[in-house]
Amino acid sequence: MRIHYKEKIKLKHYTVVLFDLDGTIIDPKIGLINSVKFALDRMKIEYNQTDTFERFIGPPLDYSFQKFFSLSESQAQKAVDFYRIYYKKSGIEENHLYPGIKELFEDLVKQNILLYVATSKPTTFAIDILNHYNIANCFEEIVGANLDLTRTAKKEIIEYILTKYPNIDPNNCIMIGDRNYDIIGAHSSQMDSIGVLYGYGSREEMNKIKPTYIAETINDLRKILLLK
């Protein structure tokens, strides 16, 4: 049953927490939009300046290029390659951490809660980003997609973590993300989830997919995850 954090409930203590990256740890908007535009320009694909490129936040890139610009699979792969050229050079610098998230990680680590990143962004980029903000050492492992566009679905990423670390009990583990893909991945592994509303998912999206909790702010995450 979905429970809003403000309801009078006995919160469960989680010993392992999986975090999505884009829209949950960092706001990727500027770097992502500029990278998408760079790719489209290099592919000579027209787009409107009013296009809502935020829709690229969350799903795998190749899927988004195919869905939103009707590219073939091979064209989408080429667009992803161009995207990565810009992102590696400039896009990482155009992200920023959500205020308070670093302090949350530090407090969770102090309580011996194990943290992992589960992102559809390529692992190498995710590591670079978290190193850039000096928070990579908060995580047991940073797991993302492969550069060959395999293991991009959140379900696959979560399954990879649970397989590699068989001592993780899904009953004591929770997945946190801002889009339905994150919650679907958690559902597939029978683990609890938190849908956050400060990223790029909507309350309507979360109400439909039914995470265990809905958190409007990072302070709400603190109330759910940290022991008093």
137 and 174 assigned to the same domain: yes
Give residue 8's pLDDT: 46
Same domain, 202 and 109: yes
Q: How far is CA 152 from the centre of its chain?
A: 11
Residues that are catalytic: 20
- Percent of the chain residues topping a pLDDT of 70: 95
State whether 109 and 154 are in the same domain: yes
Q: CA 200 to CA 161: how far, in whole Å?
A: 24
The answer on 35 and 22 residing in a single domain is no
* 104 and 158, same domain (yes or no): yes
Are 119 and 35 members of one domain? no
**Claim to verify: residue 46 and residue 151 sit in the same structural domain:** no
pLDDT tens-digit map of 40-96: 999 999 998 767 888 888 788 899 999 999 999 999 999 999 999 999 899 888 999
Q: CA triplet 26, 214, 181: central angle to 5 degrees?
A: 60
**86 and 172 assigned to the same domain:** no
CATH number, position 185:
3.40.50.1000
Q: Which of 94, 125, 149 is the last residue of a domain?
A: 94
**Segments forming the whole domain that contains residue 83:** 29-94
Same domain, 39 and 12: no
Distance CA 67, CA 88 (A): 24
131-153 per-position pLDDT tens digit: 999 999 999 999 999 988 889 89
Number of domains in the chain: 2
DSSP sequence for the chain = --EETTSS--PPPPSEEEE-SBTTTEE-HHHHHHHHHHHHHHTT----TT--GGGGSSS-HHHHHHHHH---HHHHHHHHHHHHHHHHHTGGGG-EEPTTHHHHHHHHHHTT-EEEEEEEEEHHHHHHHHHHTT-GGG-SEEEEE-TTS-S-SHHHHHHHHHHH-TT--GGGEEEEESSHHHHHHHHHTT-EEEEESSSS--HHHHHHH--SEEESSHHHHHHHHS--
% of the chain beyond a pLDDT of 90: 82
**What pLDDT is stored for residue 149 in this prediction?**
80
CB 36 within 8 Å of CB 57? no
Residue 2: per-residue pLDDT: 52
Domain identity same for 57 and 151: no
pLDDT of residue 94: 92
Residue that finishes a domain, picked among 94, 114, 148: 94
CATH number at residue 35: 1.10.150.240
Q: Quick one: pLDDT at residue 7?
A: 53
Average pLDDT, the chain: 92
Residue type, position 118, single letter: A
Residues 157 and 191 in one domain: yes
CB 138: neighbour CB atoms within 10 A?
17
Phi, psi of 122 (to 5 degrees): -55, 140
Asked whether residue 105 falls in the same domain as residue 195, the answer is: yes
Last residue of a domain, one of 78, 94, 110: 94
